[in-house]
Amino acid sequence: MNARESWLEERRRGVGGSDAAAALGQSRRKTMFELFHEKVGNANLVNAGGLDGIERIEFGKAMEGVIAAMYSKRYSVKLRRHNRIAQHATHKFMLASYDRTIDGKREGLECKNVDGLAFKFGEWGEEHSDQVPLEYLMQCHHYLAVSGYGVWHLAACVGGNTLKVYHVERDPEMIDMIVDGEAEFWKFVERNEAPPLDFQHPTAIGLLKKLFPGSDGTTIHLPAEAEAMHYAKLDFDEQEKLMKVGSDAARARLLHMMGPASVGLLPNGGGYTRKVIERKAYEVEAMRYLDFRFSAKKGAA
């Protein structure tokens, strides 16, 4: 086992900062159910990508040192890198792999590589506030809980060329919520009992495909509730078709109203744009299509 595999194995022995939102059912990228299977070492999930399988995460790791160096230069502080996983003094299941801590202060630093569009249209507030996406807010409070520190800074490299800094101060109520929630989650792991799956979560179907990638050739009898679920699915499928027909009809009428115009402004603000997009044949086949989209009026909700 190499150092990386050893580190991943150690992380499975507890709940880390990046696990906090999923452990409390608040993550948009991962369910509590999936996190459970990662912690118990379900081979189907681990082999399907695990913690390292997403290129976005790999870029984040590569950018960590750059972001830390820029933060250190801007604020004239010395940052310390930690080569081991920290553990909560009382709640041993709470682990933390800090990006950096600040020498001479009881403060830490989390580094994030953020897409420019995600930053612009996401949940990021004014710089130097604590208005960051919920997953990151919970991650910082997890680190505050484990370390006992008073402030955790979050440095975000936006679009690859801009550093935005936020500050998350210790909130006892938030920390209590995270500790209690992670403790409840860890009980599932200790009992080797999977928590309920959130079937409405956007990752649910993909997760189930990973968990059950093949077919064993057997036939089973589904419970009575499966029939009700079957008819509910048919009803939702029909509604989806009707909504698609309606959406396409509205799109067609808007295109007809605009004719050859490039911009169509709505009476109450915002509008539609249409332009021809041409892509040359490099590694993919050349294509030409009409880009038609709505743009909201600046300042509108």
> pLDDT per residue over 170-228, tens digit each?
999 999 999 999 999 999 999 999 999 999 999 898 888 888 888 888 998 989 999 99
Same domain, 50 and 174: yes
- What is residue 292's predicted lDDT score, i.e. its pLDDT? 59
- What is residue 48's predicted lDDT score, i.e. its pLDDT? 47
- What is residue 130's predicted lDDT score, i.e. its pLDDT? 95
HSE value, Cβ hemisphere, 13 Å, CA-based, for 81 = 8
Query: For the chain, what is the domain count?
Result: 3
Q: Residue 207's Cα: distance from chain center in Å?
A: 15
- Nearest one of 22, 16, 21, 52 to 35, comparing CA atoms: 22
Is residue 194 one of the residues assigned to a domain? yes
Instruction: Summarize pLDDT for 110-125 with one digit per residue, the tens.
Output: 999 998 888 887 789 9
Taking CA atoms, 211 is separated from 28, 37, 44, 154, in Å, by 19, 9, 6, 34
Same domain, 270 and 249: no
Angular region, 279: left φ>0, alpha ψ -120 to 50, beta rest: beta
User: What are the structure tokens assigned to 72, written together?
Assistant: 């250190």
Distance CA 277, CA 288 (A): 6
Structural domain range at position 268: 260-301
Is residue 203 one of the residues assigned to a domain? yes
Same domain, 44 and 135: yes
Cβ atoms of 170 and 151 within 8 Å: the answer is: yes
Is residue 35 one of the residues assigned to a domain? yes
- Nearest one of 92, 186, 103 to 145, comparing CA atoms: 92
Write the CB contacts of 57 (distance below 8 Å, at least 6 apart in sequence): 51
Per-residue confidence in pLDDT tens, the chain, 301 aa: 555 556 556 667 899 999 999 999 999 989 999 999 999 988 676 544 444 455 767 777 888 999 999 999 999 999 999 888 999 999 999 999 999 999 999 999 999 999 888 888 778 999 999 999 999 999 999 999 999 999 999 999 998 899 999 999 999 999 999 999 999 999 999 999 999 999 999 989 888 888 888 888 899 898 999 999 999 999 999 999 999 999 999 999 999 999 989 999 999 888 999 887 776 765 556 666 666 566 666 555 4
Distance CA 44, CA 207 (A): 10
Is residue 120 one of the residues assigned to a domain? yes
Is residue 218 one of the residues assigned to a domain? no
